[in-house]
């Protein structure tokens, strides 16, 4: 420690104000800890990428696009003809800022009521014995000495060396969500969930969209049948899908793409690079702690989420899916562990959602994963087209699939593709977490007509006595039996 340096004492320090960081700060305060939260953007950064430039803004854009696209379809179902005119993205941006600002202010209020001290600045570890430095161009550096610390610094978009971001033509998801005009033509590099969501939204708003994916299908981390179904459906929005295609460069007006049948050029106005995210751990000074990222580039932590005895890490900087709800769930555990409580982060499932069209949601194990885990796995499927509620929505693409153990009937996995899959997956996730039996779901009376009935329907399919799709004849017994 430098002579004359007077560190400020901190009980529990949280680094990052996203859905992991601010939840950890509140949870720790509820446990009686005196908490300081440091974010590079201070109070303006509360809510993190999710609230400011990720989950919330992207879903707002997707909702706008869905409403715009639905106007023509509903005209044929009795609604007034859609009025002429371009989409007003300036008005959208004003509304989106109100939404984001409201959520940001909400988090500020929650932290204030919890007594959390929010500071602005860049954070770096300086000593292995709980020393840190916070720098801010507008004020002198602050030296800290903490008793406990939670790293929740999140992630940022991956930048491809051959397609460096310029903020104008070649952009990340962040810049797409700030557009004030609908581009005439767009190439989306990456057919994962972020690229698919943004590409579909832009196509519905009127852009000519091409999705370029290096793997042989969209959503390459999911079951191949899902990628095939989604790829077929997005063509109805005019989206062209180029799989097994690698981008080799950009001429300034056209992407250069290598395909199995030769090289091609794709002239587009906007290039959106959506090939993944990288954890924000580069400048934290982890070497001072003797800590380093694992082979996956993330910080290796166990079920206690501890990186060192006094420091925990949560969210996108740790192994597992980079999802806001994972970070928030880990936040509670990290705060408890650092406060002397014996808790672990060991969920049975973390639901994953793709807000594409159709929506895709998964929880638990797929059939192949269940088999690999040693289950005698059986699948049951119910088509969305057989749902009365889906028909009234004018959207009957997709299916619900349950994976269960043949011997016990316990549900171990679920996949939902179709309208409102993002909401429907919660019941399946709860069933998996509670080790529910198919009889529990089939025996629960679901309101009609709702999309939630799909859980009831697929459970009946799995039990061998489906109601609204053909099934095997069951042998008769009792009165009237031959």
Which residues form the catalytic set? 448
Q: At what angle do helices 55-75 and 193-205 cross, to 10 degrees?
A: 40
Gap between the Cα atoms of 202 and 182, Å rounded: 7
How many other CB atoms are found less than 10 A from the CB of residue 373? 10
Q: What residues contact residue 415 under an 8 Å CB cut-off, 6+ apart?
A: 223, 226, 360, 361, 362, 366, 399, 400, 401
Distance CA 111, CA 27 (A): 10
Would you give the DSSP letter of residue 182? -
Note whether 271 and 187 are within 8 A (CB). Answer: yes
| Beta strand 122-127 pairing with 131-136 | antiparallel
- Distance of alpha carbon 167 from alpha carbon 321, whole angstroms: 27
- Say if CB 264 and CB 254 are below 8 A apart: no
* Pairing relationship of beta strands 411-417 and 170-171 according to DSSP bridges: unpaired
Q: Name the 3-class secondary structure at 370.
A: helix
Establish how many alpha carbons lie within 13 A of residue 182's alpha carbon, considering only the half-sphere containing its beta carbon.
23
With CA atoms as reference, report the closest residue to 130 among 112, 150, 154, 113: 150
Report how far residue 6's alpha carbon sits from residue 420's, in angstroms, rounded to the nearest whole number: 55
Which residues have C-beta within 8 Å of that of residue 251, sequence separation ≥ 6?
265
Contact in structure between 377 and 412 (CB atoms under 8 Å): yes
Asked whether 256 and 249 are in contact (CB, 8 A), the reply is: yes
Beta carbons of 202 and 185 less than 8 angstroms apart: no
Contact between residue 119 and residue 235 where contact means Cβ atoms under 8 Å apart: no
């Amino acid at each position: 420690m430098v002579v004359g340096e007077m560190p400020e004492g901190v009980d529990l320090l949280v680094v990052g104000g996203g859905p992991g960081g601010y939840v950890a700060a509140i949870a720790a305060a509820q446990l009686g800890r005196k908490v300081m939260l440091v974010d590079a953007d201070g109070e303006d950064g509360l809510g993190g990428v999710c609230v400011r430039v990720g989950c919330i803004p992207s879903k707002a854009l997707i909702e706008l696009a869905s409403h715009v696209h639905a106007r023509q379809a509903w005209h044929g179902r009795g609604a007034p003809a859609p009025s002429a005119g371009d989409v007003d993205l300036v008005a959208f941006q004003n509304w989106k800022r109100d939404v984001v600002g409201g959520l940001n202010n909400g988090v500020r209020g929650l932290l204030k009521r919890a007594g959390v001290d929010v500071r602005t600045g860049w954070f770096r570890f300086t000593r292995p014995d709980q020393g840190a430095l916070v720098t801010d161009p507008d004020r002198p550096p602050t030296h800290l000495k903490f008793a406990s610390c939670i790293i929740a610094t999140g992630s940022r978009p991956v930048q491809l060396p051959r397609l460096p971001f310029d903020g104008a033509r070649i952009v990340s998801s962040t810049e797409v969500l700030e557009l004030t005009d609908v581009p005439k033509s767009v190439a989306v590099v990456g057919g994962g969930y972020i690229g698919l969501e943004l590409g579909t939204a832009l196509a519905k708003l009127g852009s000519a969209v091409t999705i370029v994916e290096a793997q042989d299908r969209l959503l390459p981390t999911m079951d191949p049948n899902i990628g095939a179904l989604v790829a077929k459906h997005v063509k109805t929005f005019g989206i062209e899908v180029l799989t097994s295609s690698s981008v080799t460069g950009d001429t300034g007006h056209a992407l250069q793409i290598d395909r199995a049948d030769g090289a091609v050029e794709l002239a587009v106005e906007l290039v959106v690079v959506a090939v993944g995210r990288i954890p924000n751990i580069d400048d934290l000074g982890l070497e001072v702690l003797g800590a380093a990222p694992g082979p996956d580039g993330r910080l290796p932590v166990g079920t206690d989420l501890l990186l060192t005895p006094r420091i925990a890490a949560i969210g996108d900087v740790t192994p597992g899916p980079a999802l806001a709800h994972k970070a928030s769930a880990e936040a509670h555990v990290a705060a408890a562990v650092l406060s002397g409580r014996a808790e672990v982060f060991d969920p049975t499932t973390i639901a994953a959602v793709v807000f594409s069209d159709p929506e895709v949601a998964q929880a638990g194990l797929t059939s192949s994963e269940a088999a690999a885990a040693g289950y005698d796995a059986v699948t049951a499927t119910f088509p969305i087209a057989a749902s009365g509620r889906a028909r009234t929505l004018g959207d009957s693409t997709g299916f619900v699939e349950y994976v269960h153990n043949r011997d016990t009937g316990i549900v171990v996995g679920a996949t939902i593709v179709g309208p409102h899959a993002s909401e429907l997956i919660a019941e399946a996730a709860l069933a998996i977490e509670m080790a529910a039996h198919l009889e529990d779901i089939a025996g629960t009376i679901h309101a009609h007509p709702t999309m939630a009935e799909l859980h009831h329907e697929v459970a009946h399919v799995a039990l061998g006595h489906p109601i609204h799709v053909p099934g095997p004849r069951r042998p008769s017994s009792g009165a009237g039996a031959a």
